[in-house]
Amino acid sequence: MAGRVEGIFISPKKGLLPEPVASVRALAGRGLEGNRYFFESDAPSGVALTLIAAEAVEAMEREHGISIEPRESRRNVVTRGIDVNALVGKTFRVGDVECRGVELCEPCTTLEAMTKPGIIKGLVHRGGLNVDILSDGEISVGDDVVADE
C-alpha cells in the first residue's frame, strides 16, 4: 500500500486556518515544528500528526455537495493514493519519517463550526487519521506514504 503527500499544512495558533508549507520537520514523540500541537516533551498519543486523504475531501463534495479546501479539514498532511483508515494500528513512513496510526480522526462540531454545515456527515469515518511520530525527519510535498508490510 503506497501513496504520496499532496499537501502539508501548519497552524501555529488555535483558530487559525493552517498555512501550506513545502516541507516540515517532524520530531519523534513531539510533533511538527511550528505547529500548535508541537510539544517540548512527550506528545499525547495520536496528537503529533494528522493525515487526511484528498479522495475523502473530494468525495464529500461529490456525495454531499460540500466543498472545502483540504487545509480547511485542519489536518496536517493531505495524502493521495493510500487508504489512511487502513493505517490504524500500523507502522508506515511519510517520506523518511516513521509513523504509527493511532485512531481515526473523526470530524467534530468544532470543525463544522469553523467550516460549513454538514461537514460532520460528509467526513464521518473518513475525516483522517491521528498519528504518532516514531522517528525524526523531514516531510515534503511529493514524498511517498508507504505502509509497512
pLDDT in tens, 79-137: 999 999 999 999 999 999 999 999 999 988 888 888 888 888 888 899 999 999 999 99
* Global confidence as pTM: 0.93
- Please give the C-alpha separations between residue 109 and each of 25, 29, 78, 112, in angstroms, as whole numbers: 30, 27, 21, 5
Domain ranges in the chain? 2-147
- The string of pLDDT tens digits covering residues 1-59 is 799 999 999 999 888 889 999 999 999 999 999 999 999 888 899 999 999 999 999 99
As its CATH architecture, domain 2-147 has Beta Barrel (2.40)
Q: What is the pLDDT of residue 118?
A: 87
CA angle, 127 then 100 then 50, to 5°? 35
Predicted local confidence at residue 5, as pLDDT: 98
Q: How far is CA 113 from CA 53, 55, 78, 120, 149, in A?
A: 21, 22, 21, 10, 39
| SS3 of residue 59 by DSSP | helix
